[in-house]
Amino acid sequence: MKISIVTACYNSEATIRDTLRTIQMQTHQDIEHIIIDGGSTDGTLEILEKNREHIAYLTSEPDNGLYDAMNKGVSKATGDVIGLLNSDDMLANKHVLSNVVKALADPEVDACYGDLVYVNQDNINQVARYWRSSPYNSALLAKGWIPAHPTFYARREVHDNYGMLFNLDYKLAADYELLLRLLFSHNIKVSYIPEVMIKMRLGGTTNKSLKNIFNQNKEIMRALKSHNYDYSPVKMVCSKLLDRIQQYRKRDEYVQ
């Protein structure tokens, strides 16, 4: 089972080595690594060239942001399974992709997802938040719940049948809208892997400011409305806040 992993990057010389290392150490080695660089001006491209033998496709050109870059990568994917791993994220251990293959061994399962930990930018062994997910239930969507998108791996047929491209009208919640589209509107069958799959460095665009968090929630509500999902905005925002608090409280539960 060939797994296509799309990595979008821009001036990522400080973090891209960890991303590459955790892909190269996987016990499942049938990997198509696609890297879409936004025209980096630091040492990112030099690092990528040194790892060229492990990269199936590499391009460097200006783009219209992260979601646009990821769309370019997904469009290039030829694997049986497609997933995303950004340039400041890491696969949590060497068995992540093997666990994906096991989950998708069931022909009835269209996609799988798991847990994620947020780690310190300078110390990837220091966990700040533990995003423990759960088996999918459509009622959870009313609480603003969605699988952690970096842990989401889907069969190629999902892309062929429904499209796995981001809606670029969403600037901060395109990942939420995509998963809502697949899970709710298209009702794909998903399997939950109850293990940490991804280490994500703190400092993402959405969480950089209260303004971004506010605007992301507005986009989430717009996505729910566009897919005709009935929900209470007040309950959703409160549920997301409580979930965030729980992520901080659970951080010590993660065992490296």
pLDDT of 213 > 70? The answer is: yes
Quick one: pLDDT band at residue 205, thresholds 50, 70, 90?
low
134 by DSSP, 3-state: which?
coil
Quick: pLDDT tens for 77-93: 999 999 999 999 999 99
Strand segments (E) across the chain: 3-9, 31-37, 57-60, 81-84, 89-91, 111-119, 127-131, 153-155, 190-201
- Chain position carrying tokens 């050109």: 61
Mean of per-residue pLDDT scores for the chain: 93
Among the residue ranges 89-98, 123-132, 134-143, 154-163, the one predicted with the least confidence is 134-143
Going 224 to 230 to 233 to 236, the CA torsion angle's sign is negative
Does 243 or 51 have the greater pLDDT score?
Answer: 51
152: which 2 tokens?
């989401």
pLDDT, tens digit, 9 for 90 and up, residues 123-138: 999 999 999 999 999 8
Q: The domain that contains 249 carries what CATH number? A: 3.90.550.10
Task: For the chain, report the end-to-end CA distance as a whole number of angstroms.
Answer: 27
Is the pTM higher than 0.85? The answer reads: yes
Alpha-carbon span 218 to 212, nearest angstrom: 10
Task: Provide the residue range defining the domain that includes 17.
Answer: 3-253
Beta-carbon count within 10 A of 211 CB: 8
Does the structure show a pLDDT above 70 at 192? yes
Q: What is the 8-class DSSP label of residue 153?
A: E
| Residue 239 pLDDT level (bands cut at 50, 70, 90) | confident
Helices (H) and strands (E) in the chain, counts: 8, 9
Burial 29-55 (b: 16+ CB within 10 A, else e): eebbbbbbbbebeeebbebbeebeeeb
In the chain, the number of structural domains is: 1
Please give the Cα distance from 96 to 116 (Å, whole number): 12
- Strand partners of residue 111: 154, 190
Quick one: which of 191, 178, 189, 170 has its CA closest to 227?
178
- The answer on pLDDT for 167 being more than 90 is yes
Which whole number is the average pLDDT over 108-112?
Answer: 98
**Residue 253 DSSP class:** G
Q: What is the DSSP letter of 93?
A: S
Does residue 160 register a pLDDT over 60?
A: yes
